[in-house]
Structure 1
Amino acid sequence: MRLDFKEIKDYFYSNYCNNNTDRKYASMFEKVSQIIDEKDILYFYPKYLFVDEQTLQLYFVLKNNKFIKVWINEDKQIVMEFFNIEKINRVSYESPLDDYGDYKLTLLFEEKLEEIKFNSKEDTNEHWKYKLDEAICNMAKYLANI
């Protein structure tokens, strides 16, 4: 089953009153929805989904070949960074030989020296790992065909 932006957004909306973290992430998804039309999302990746001690980051690949990173900074501001997919210098994809390992995808953009890394084991809990495995694989397939 494909990782769905709406599913995760709805989770945080429905748990808005539970705690400050769910409230913060519901607000984050609301702000993202003001800028990104859900119909334009090709691939979605929620890094640090349900990982204690880490702040959720959202990544999107849009139909117009934009790559977007969203996070909450130290000033409690939602930051959205936009990249052109064509500006990726290097993509590194790792997958296990069997179904039990970690999937990894690393992107290096021309404009930044920082690499963007996805790791299905580190980026979520054991219940959501299989969805991140699939999301990484799907993004790698897409990037291989650009």
Structure 2
Amino acid sequence: MVHLLIIIAGVYVATLGFAVLINVSPKYLNDGGIVGVAGYLVYLAYYTYIGGYVGGNVLGAFAIGIFGMIAARIKKAPVIIFNIPALVPLVPGGQAYQVMKNIAMNKPRVAFGFLMQVLMIAGSLAMGFLLAELVIQLFNYSMRSMKRRRKTA
């Protein structure tokens, strides 16, 4: 339990730190940190109980996309303010470092393995955001069509 609280605190601080670094307004920092923690917890739950970093990153990015859109609607702010900092804990920085290290050490096969991980994680993050956008657009479309049906009835 303590381990999970340390992870949550670390993800929250990392998200806030990156948000400060890219000059996000202080009134949006807490919400961005919450979005980041929520997305990482979805990733962590999938990775822990089901396994696989690709599926975990898809669902984590999906959760960040959905929660970021909700936060943007509540705060009346651009969604990018919440999504970009929240994505930082899921970015494959360690694997990218290993690619460069193994290239420098003249180990191209090991570097290629890490490069494939980086590409799969990056693709899964993009897929998660795409799915979140699709779900939000479908939800908005269905809400508009229901309002139109009520007006005509």
Q: Same fold judged by TM-score > 0.5?
A: no
- Higher RCO by CA contacts (8 Å cutoff, separation 6 or greater): 2
Point out the structure with max Rg over C-alpha: 2
TM-score normalized with structure 1 length:
0.27
Structure with the higher fraction of residues in strand conformation = 1
TM-score normalized with structure 2 length:
0.26
